[in-house]
Amino acid sequence: MSYRFIDVGEVEPLFSGRIRPVRKALEIESFGVNEFELAAGSTTYPEHDELKTGQDELFVILEGSGTMTIDGDSFELLPGRYVYVTPESKRHIAPGSSGLRYIAIGAPADGKHGGRI
């Protein structure tokens, strides 16, 4: 098959509706992708690194706002912001007063992109 598509509403949410497993729904094997929705005041996103998985992560903010802390440095999350984090860095996300919706994309840090752009 050369392509697949889904609408996010078709993806059954996990963990009390906080995570939609997009990778699994689209049967992607080369990288991970999930959509997260954190309610205002949520404390469910744990500080962690990705040393066990060896994954680079890219966070794409879709809606709402929040704060991300990476290795002790904090900054605001806003729609349209992209944040790249390497496996060894500790990361934590706290949603803002209107909550936060974002996509997290992960792939092995030792892989090389062979694309043109």
- Quick check: is 7 in a domain? no
Report pLDDT for 116: 74
The one-letter amino acid at 25: A
Residue 26 lies in a domain: no
Residue 64 lies in domain: 50-96+104-110
How many distinct structural domains can be found in the chain? 1
* 81 within domain boundaries: yes
Q: Is 9 a domain residue? A: no
| CA–CA dist 38, 19 (Å, integer) | 9
Give pLDDT, residue 22: 96
Burial 73-90 (b: 16+ CB within 10 A, else e): eeeebeeeeebebebebe
Q: pLDDT digits over 74-112, tens only?
A: 999 999 999 999 999 999 999 999 999 999 999 999 887
Instruction: Assign residue 70 the CATH number of its domain.
Output: 2.60.120.10
In a domain, 69, yes or no: yes
User: Collapsing DSSP states into helix, strand and coil, what is residue 105?
Assistant: strand
Within a domain: residue 27?
no
In a domain, 70, yes or no: yes
